[in-house]
Amino acid sequence: EAGVAQSPRYKIIEKRQSVAFWCNPISGHATLYWYQQILGQGPKLLIQFQNNGVVDDSQLPKDRFSAERLKGVDSTLKIQPAKLEDSAVYLCASSLLVVDEQFFGPGTRLTVL
Amino acid sequence: KQEVTQIPAALSVPEGENLVLNCSFTDSAIYNLQWFRQDPGKGLTSLLLIQSSQREQTSGRLNASLDKSSGRSTLYIAASQPGDSATYLCALYSSASKIIFGSGTRLSIRP
């Protein structure tokens, strides 16, 4: 069974530039999560989708971050414009149901210069 | 507000020892608790999921317990091996605060 796929694996940008991350969940998983993990900390939930609807985006900085999950499968997370403090690993996860075991992708390491 | 604490932040033990990692939380109204391991530069690997109604789960040399009344979960690793070296994270799914991760315990097993 294929796992959660993410791309790119690494990205370096200048502050004020834009960046987008892509995630493809495990086939059949209805719930998709985006997390931000700063070095030395546990992941912080940014947004949770159930199919193509948003379950929780209370910690998403909506002035610069946006996410979508069209057709309830793939998802894209965008940052525009990026700030230095956005440097982190962005993790995508999926689960079969809303309250269920989560499976993570390899993450995208973002460096903002 | 739910808070999740993992102490110690780092732990080093010799190979072959049995060890216990701790995860404490402040709000017992949880749906489930999940333990993960994270290798450097990698994503998270799911180890065990304990539902709110369960007291423990086992997988191979790993055993996770859940005590909601005391706000505590433990991950027991038997006969530790150098390959067990990683950061171990716990995560709660609660009705009030949704999904909250601890900061992790960085485990090093000395050969």
Determine whether the interchain pair B101/A44 forms a contact, defined as Cβ–Cβ distance below 8 Å.
yes
Nearest CB to B32 within list A91, A99, A105: A99
- On whether any CB of chain A is under 8 Å from the CB of B97, the answer is no
Q: How confident is the model at residue B2 (pLDDT cuts 50, 70, 90)?
A: confident
pLDDT score recorded for residue A1? 65
pLDDT score recorded for residue A98? 84
Per-residue model confidence as pLDDT tens digits over A17-27: 999 999 999 99
- CB-facing half-sphere around the CA of B16: CA atoms within 13 A: 1
The mean pLDDT value for B21-37 works out to 95
Task: Please name the residue of chain A whose CA is at the shortest distance from the CA of residue B6.
Answer: A42
**In sequence order, what E strands does A1-113 have?**
5-7, 10-13, 19-24, 31-37, 44-50, 53-56, 65-68, 75-79, 88-95, 103-104, 108-112
| Cis peptide leading into residue A106 (ω within 30°) | no
The one-letter amino acid at A78: K
Beta strand B10-14 pairing with B105-110: parallel
Determine whether the interchain pair A104/B102 forms a contact, defined as Cβ–Cβ distance below 8 Å.
no
Q: Which of B99, B101, B103 to mutate to test the interface with A (most CBs of A within 10 A)?
A: B99
DSSP structure class, residue A99: S
Among all chains, which residue has been given the structure tokens 């403090």? A85
Among A92, A89, A90, residue whose Cα is nearest residue A24:
A92
**Residue A31 confidence (pLDDT) above 70:** yes
Mean pLDDT across chain A, nearest whole number?
Answer: 95
Residues of B in contact with A54 (CB under 8 A): none
Dihedral over alpha carbons A48, A54, A59, A65 (to 10 degrees):
100
Per-residue model confidence as pLDDT tens digits over B74-102: 999 999 999 999 999 999 998 775 899 99
Q: Are A93 and A4 in contact (CB under 8 A)?
A: yes
Determine whether the interchain pair A102/B91 forms a contact, defined as Cβ–Cβ distance below 8 Å.
yes
